[in-house]
């Protein structure tokens, strides 16, 4: 049981390049999230999904796109990377069960630098 | 919409107590608490549901006042291992699945 995994762990891009970050979970969770974390800014929600085939915008969605074609995977895409997107990106998954069993699990993070 | 945490930073000696507060301007369905060590992913501590419950996890407990839209995390007899950044995450009253985090509170425990 690997939990939540993220690929890649590190990446350096040049301005204007594109890339896709992959998040995978093996816990059969309905909800999945993408956050970015910048110093002093906490975790900011980019996009999220409440189930396979669905996505929704979070707090800071501009410049990013997402897809959830399979329940276990949540992809985050940067079409034209900008230096302002330099950050640590965390993926998380969460059960759909409201109540005491509601837990969100985070992946190890992807450190992205845009030059 | 982002919940507000206070204080922003706390420095303690081992054995001392601390309280971290989380306040929202919107009605809440639940509050989650996480701890993050430097360079690592956040780790879930506990969840509180509306109803004013209080929960405990070792010497860490929390309360949730639904009417005031506030939650507090209590760390008693702090240990060196408690050092890190603590985040509260809130789910709105409609429980759409959206989880929004506060800006974090950095806790440093010294020997």
CA distance to partner chain A, nearest, from residue B34 (Å): 9
CA distance to partner chain A, nearest, from residue B86 (Å): 10
Nearest residue on chain A to B94, judged by CA atoms?
A: A98
Model pLDDT, residue B53: 62
Rounded to the nearest angstrom, the gap between the alpha carbon of residue B46 and the centroid of all alpha carbons in its chain is: 9
Confirm if B90 and B27 have CB atoms less than 8 A apart: no
Model pLDDT, residue B28: 87
Given the structure tokens 């993070």, which residue do they identify?
A109
A44 vs B97: CB contact, 8 Å cut-off? no
Q: Given phi > 0 = left and psi -120 to 50 = alpha, else beta, which region is A36? A: beta
- Of A42, A102, A105, nearest to B101 by CB-CB distance is A42
**Cα dihedral angle (B96, B34, B42, B89), rounded to 10 degrees?**
30
Give which of A27, A41, A96, A102 to mutate to test B binding, by max B Cβ within 10 Å: A102
Rounded to the nearest angstrom, the gap between the alpha carbon of residue B10 and the centroid of all alpha carbons in its chain is: 13
Model pLDDT, residue A53: 94
Residue B49 predicted with pLDDT over 90 = no
A104 vs B99: CB contact, 8 Å cut-off? yes
Model pLDDT, residue A100: 65
Model pLDDT, residue A32: 94
Model pLDDT, residue A28: 92
Per-residue buried b or exposed e for B41-73, using 16+ beta carbons within 10 Å of the residue's own CB: bbebbbbbbbeeeebeeeebbbbbebeebbbbb
Asked if A43 has any chain B CB less than 8 Å from its own CB, the reply is yes
- Of B30, B41, B100, nearest to A90 by CB-CB distance is B41
With cut-offs at 50, 70 and 90, classify the pLDDT of residue B55.
Answer: low
A59 vs B2: CB contact, 8 Å cut-off? yes
Nearest residue on chain A to B95, judged by CA atoms?
A: A98
- Which residues of chain A neighbour B40 with C-beta distances below 8 Å? 108
- Of B44, B49, B89, nearest to A99 by CB-CB distance is B49
Q: Nearest CA to B23 among B83, B88, B74?
A: B88
What whole-number percentage of chain A has pLDDT above 90? 83
B49 vs A109: CB contact, 8 Å cut-off? no
**Pairing label, strands A42-49, B4-6:** unpaired
Model pLDDT, residue A45: 93
Confirm if A75 and A19 have CB atoms less than 8 A apart: no
Mean pLDDT of A46-61: 93
- Which residues of chain B neighbour A105 with C-beta distances below 8 Å? 44
């Amino acid at each position: 049981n690997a939990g939540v995994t993220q690929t890649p762990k590190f990446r350096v891009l040049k301005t204007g390049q594109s890339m896709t970050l992959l998040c995978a979970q093996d816990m059969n969770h309905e909800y999945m999230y993408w956050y970015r974390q910048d110093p002093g800014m906490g975790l900011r929600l980019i996009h999220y999904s409440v189930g396979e085939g669905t996505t929704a915008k979070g707090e800071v969605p501009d410049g990013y796109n997402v897809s959830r074609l399979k329940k276990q995977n949540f992809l985050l895409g940067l079409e034209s990377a900008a230096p302002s997107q330099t950050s640590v990106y965390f993926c998380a998954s969460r059960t759909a069960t409201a109540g005491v069993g509601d837990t969100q699990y985070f992946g190890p993070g992807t450190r992205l630098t845009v030059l | 919409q982002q919940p507000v945490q206070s204080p922003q930073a706390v420095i303690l000696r081992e054995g001392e107590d601390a309280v971290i507060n989380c306040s929202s301007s919107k009605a809440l369905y639940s509050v989650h608490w996480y701890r993050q060590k430097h360079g690592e992913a956040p780790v879930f501590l506990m969840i509180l549901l509306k109803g004013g419950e209080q929960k405990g996890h070792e010497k860490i407990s929390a309360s949730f006042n639904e009417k005031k839209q506030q939650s507090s995390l209590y760390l008693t007899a702090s240990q060196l291992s408690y050092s890190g950044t603590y985040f509260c995450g809130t789910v709105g009253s409609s429980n759409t699945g959206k989880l929004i985090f506060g800006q974090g509170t950095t806790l440093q425990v010294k020997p």
